[in-house]
Structure 1
Amino acid sequence: MTDVQRRAAVLGSPIAHSLSPVLHRAAYAELGLADWEYGRHEVDEAALPGFVEALDASWAGLSLTMPLKRAVIPLLDEVSETAASVEAVNTVVFTAEGRRVGDNTDVPGMIAALRERGVRKVESAAVLGAGATASSALAALARICAGPVTAYVRTAERAREMRTWGERLGVDVRTADWADAARALAAPLVVATTPAGATDALAAEVPERPGTLFDVLYDPWPTPLAAAWAARAGAVVGGLDLLVHQAVLQVEQMTGRVPAPLAAMRAAGEAALAARH
């Protein structure tokens, strides 16, 4: 145990809703890291360079949420292959030599969350939405999906973006209009990356024998789509699963302690969400 307090934090804007402090602090408590603290800071793109420059040697790492995942890249000394592939960094680790190393734990976090539910390989998949999370979903699907991925989007521009991401990531991406999104629900794996409310109308369209739904939302939970999916006995992976698995990887990178306490972190996240409601 060192005398120097070690610090980490999540940055973003808005940030008040973030569960990251709950998860990381639970990990520190379980690991006996009494001299570590994990905070939350409201930081936008304009303020990010100054914030990073002002950090002293006590800082071990940062978690980044929107809108900073791309903005941080020019401030880093090194970016992992995974983060570069999706042009998004959600984790920065400060090395003993003072280097800033960026990574993306969302992609392996998605894979780990699916694996936990027994999903290791699928023949095809569908993605609902085309935002930043959708590109991470495609990067994850590049590793577990043997066949095509159909992305259901609202505009021709979004369709082009998803096909471009597919080409970059080595995924056979096909696009379809959002008006036909009910067809997506027949896929072996459906990844919903849309904001709250966007998939509510699809809840009535869940097939008799659904495959696996990965809905990246966690508050409010369950979403109407996730509830309808579970009622049909389909496997459901939720946003909290993703949040916990990506945070586990962050804790391991920042503290050097492996494995991070997944069960304790999930319990803390569940308790925090229950307290909100």
Structure 2
Amino acid sequence: MVDQLAVLGWPIGHSLSPAIHRAAYSTLGLPWRYSAVRCGADSLAAFVASRGPEWRGFSVTMPLKEEAHRIARDLDPVARASGVVNTLRRRDDGRGWDGFNTDVAGLATAIGAAGLDPADTIVLGTGATAVSAVLAAQRLGAGRIRVAGRNSAAAAALAARGDEATAMSAHGLADEALRDGSSTLIISTLPGPAGRALDVPAALTAVPLFDVAYDPWPSPLAERWRAAGGVAHPGTAMLIEQAIVQVRIFSSGDPDTPLADEGAVRAAMRGATASADMGG
């Protein structure tokens, strides 16, 4: 019996997860199959409950991350702290699914590998991925995080997640307080099309942008950043790093146990996303 895995979401046709997971499994010699399945939040619980024992686990993308958190039998510490699950692994006893959040580790690793400075971070957006962005910046030692979004209540709730080492505040996307030129990093978790209409002052485009979007790439926001002479980093870097942690989980159940040859796995995954990074 061949183990089955899939990425679940709606929409899902754009996802690069099948390409990068298949590249990883091939490199590791794992005879697993990985597919993409369109699934809405209202059908997630029934879908995963109906899967047979051959189903090892799932990557979970929007808009399912909060619902995946709700249905998981047990949660890893990051999923528990964030209220977000992007990975479901069948429990060893076969009774349900354990939930994990690999977005935080993936984003933190990608930011660090790019040599970006998270000391004074602005997070654009207030959804599930924005929660992980805040936790990633905190993990990297950010001294200040400003959360900016259209939903003021959601921004305030996210800003309330501050710890003793991080000054947190909530803002509107057009707030003058974001234009003081002091930020060192901007993480956008906004849907790609939202970048077209966003009011972006010149002072912000001088700050490096990490945009979790990758389809299309460059995203509308990244295009505006680059047109102004700024630097924009694609979300494929985060996608790869969080997927490496997912493969660890699917393999051993432990997000901290490295794979046999992660360097080769990372290289294979990058090769699988090369055309997306170039806008292909």
Structure 1-normalised TM-score? 0.85
Partner secondary structure for residue 218 of structure 1 = coil
Q: What is the CA distance between 1:110 and its match in structure 2?
A: 0.3
Code of the aligned partner of 1:52: V
Aligned-residue CA RMSD in angstroms? 2.8
Q: 2:124 aligns with which of 96, 120, 128?
A: 128
Query: Partner of 1:85 in structure 2?
Result: 81
Secondary structure (helix, strand or coil) at the match of 2:270 reads: helix
Q: Which moved more, 1:214-223 or 1:146-155?
A: 146-155
- Are the equivalent residues in 1 in contact too, given 2:41–2:64 (CA < 8 A)? yes
Q: Distance in 2 between matches of 1:250 and 1:40?
A: 15
Match of 1:266 in 2: 270
Unmatched 5+ stretches in structure 1: none
**Aligned counterpart in structure 2 of residue 248 of structure 1, from 238, 241, 244:** 244
Whole-angstrom CA distance in 2 between matches of 1:89 and 1:214: 21
Report the Cα distance in structure 1 between the residues aligned to 2:172 and 2:127, rounded to whole angstroms. Answer: 15
Identity level (%): 36
Residue aligning to 2:184: 188
CA shift digits 1:35-92 (9 cap, x unpaired): 2100111222232222222222222211111222121234322101101111111001
Deviation string, structure 1 residues 8-27 (Cα, Å, up to 9, x no partner): 11112222222111111111
Q: 1:22, 1:272 within 8 Å by CA — same for their partners in 2?
A: no
Residues of 1 paired with 2:149 and 2:245: CA distance? 30
Count of residues in Structure 1 that have an aligned counterpart in Structure 2: 270
SS of 1:198's equivalent?
helix
Cα–Cα, structure 1 residues 122 and 243, in superposed 2: closer, same or farther, change >3 Å?
closer
SS at match of 1:70: helix
Residue 238 (1) aligns with residue 242 (2):
no
3-state SS of 2:162 partner? helix
1:139 aligns with 2:135: yes
Determine if the alignment matches structure 1 residue 18 to structure 2 residue 15.
yes
Q: 1:114 to 1:87 in 2, by over 3 A?
A: same
* 1:200 CA drift (Å): 3.8
Structure 2: state its 5+ residue gaps. Answer: 253-258
Please, which moves more after superposition, 158-167 or 185-194?
Answer: 158-167
Number of the residue aligned with 2:256: none
Question: For residue 161 of structure 2, what is the aligned residue in structure 1?
Answer: 165
Q: Does 1:30 align with 2:27?
A: yes
Specify the SS of the correspondent of 2:186. strand
Cα distance 1:171–1:251, how it changes in 2: closer, same or farther (>3 A)?
A: same
**Alignment-derived partner of residue 2 in structure 2:** 5
